[in-house]
Amino acid sequence: MKMGRTLTELAVELDRQMKVKKDYLIDTRNLVLDPVNNGFQLTLNGEGQNIILGVNEVAHEQIGSHTGIPARYYDKMARENPELLATNVNSWFQKDPDVRMVRTLDGTARAFLSDRYRRIDNFDVAETVLPVIADMEDARVESCEVTDNRMYIKVVNPRLQADVSVGDIVQSGILITNSEVGRGCLNVQPLIYRLVCSNGMVVNDGQRMRKYHVGRTGMYGMADDYSLFSDETLMADDRALMLKVRDVVRAAVDEVRFRKVVKMMQDAKEAKMTTNNIPKMVELVGSDFKLGKGEQEGIINHLIRDGEFSLYGLSNAVTRTAQDVESYDRSTDMESIGYTLLGMSRESWNRLNNVA
């Protein structure tokens, strides 16, 4: 799996972000988007003060979605006519007023969310799960990262392992993810770690804990009073949620589920590949899963290099290529794609083989 930060580096960064990030609830009529220096700034007006923020990609996407501007047109205006984009956005801010949560970090608007968005902080999640992981005998954090989109903690438990075939050992693990910016829920799900090539595979079969960031509205006073604070009830809810997360992480290493995935791997190893046109097969898979050209080339290279011409080999080629992509977010997405391929029905696999 792709390496991110060390555990110490993650802890330092989460602590830093906890101290400097800030959230605002504000009426859109008090927001102004302006083009500036090959980018944009968002000004929050209220109570006699102006707060000027940069705007990152996540916030741009959410502003576009909220105002109903199609993504391709939003991006085209941002590139080719920034003034027109600002005029469009500001017009809709005024015409259809709404109270939004603007989440900020380091002087940048990093999210533009509903006022019902429930804040589940990365710091709190990490503070809850890391002591639990430390108490698991021999368990280790194999990889972790915090990006503009999500926090990731990938844990491997070497005490639960099996052979897919002689010398091909896999170990059980856990993936814990959370997004503070509306890019997914708080999630705890199984992970498989393959020792041969340090591949990670995210088990995305729905057997996981998911908690969505949806809360309550109408608790924070007038629109111009846009500083956001937690009240006693929300704090109690947060404590209860973290206790549940703790319990789920403790129970997440499930031997029955692990053995089921190992059996899937063994069966996939017997699903042999027609090698007449490997590039065509990978192209078809790439079309289904929106894999880029460079990603497809990486999959072909790893598939041929490993010489495992089967459904299992294709799945591993995807998860191995995940280590090479630049984005940690994309890398984890590809680890999930690898598992989806592994679970392909024999009928679908035969059809893919015949087409290729």
The span from the CA of 64 to the CA of 10, in Å, is: 31
Range with lowest mean pLDDT among 18-22, 48-52, 230-234, 254-258 = 230-234
Name beta bridge partners: 201: 192
Q: Look up residue 310 and give its DSSP letter.
A: B
Q: What are phi and psi of 176, to 5 degrees?
A: -115, 125
pLDDT at residue number 42 = 97
Q: Are 302 and 291 in contact (CB under 8 A)?
A: no
Checking if the pLDDT of 356 tops 80, the result is no
pLDDT at residue number 289 = 94
pLDDT at residue number 249 = 83
Q: Look up residue 214 and give its DSSP letter.
A: B
**pLDDT tens column, 113-133:** 998 888 889 999 999 999 889
pLDDT at residue number 355 = 75
Checking if the pLDDT of 228 tops 60, the result is no
pLDDT at residue number 231 = 52
Mean pLDDT (the chain, rounded): 88
Task: State the average pLDDT over residues 197-219.
Answer: 63
The span from the CA of 107 to the CA of 204, in Å, is: 35
Task: State the average pLDDT over residues 242-270.
Answer: 85
Task: State the average pLDDT over residues 234-253.
Answer: 76
Q: For residue 135, what pLDDT band results from cuts at 50, 70 and 90?
A: confident
pLDDT at residue number 169 = 94
Q: For residue 340, what pLDDT band results from cuts at 50, 70 and 90?
A: very high
Checking if the pLDDT of 226 tops 50, the result is no
Q: For the chain, which residues make up each domain, given as ranges?
A: 19-114, 122-213+230-253, 271-355
Q: For residue 32, what pLDDT band results from cuts at 50, 70 and 90?
A: very high
pLDDT at residue number 247 = 81
pLDDT at residue number 224 = 33
Task: State the average pLDDT over residues 150-173.
Answer: 92
- C-alpha closest to that of 196 among 97, 319, 81, 102: 319
Range with lowest mean pLDDT among 33-42, 60-69, 215-224 = 215-224
The span from the CA of 24 to the CA of 111, in Å, is: 11
Task: State the average pLDDT over residues 23-43.
Answer: 94
Q: What are phi and psi of 307, to 5 degrees?
A: 70, 20
Q: What are phi and psi of 45, to 5 degrees?
A: -105, 130
Q: Are 150 and 177 in contact (CB under 8 A)?
A: yes
**pLDDT tens column, 275-291:** 788 999 999 999 999 99
The span from the CA of 246 to the CA of 185, in Å, is: 16
pLDDT at residue number 223 = 32
Distances (CA, A) of 310 to 166, 172, 313, 333, 341: 16, 22, 5, 22, 11
252 or 340, which is more confident? 340
Q: What strands lie across the sheet with 99-105, from one edge to the other?
A: 22-27, 99-105, 108-114, 49-55, 39-46, 31-36
Number of residues that make up the chain: 356
pLDDT at residue number 220 = 32
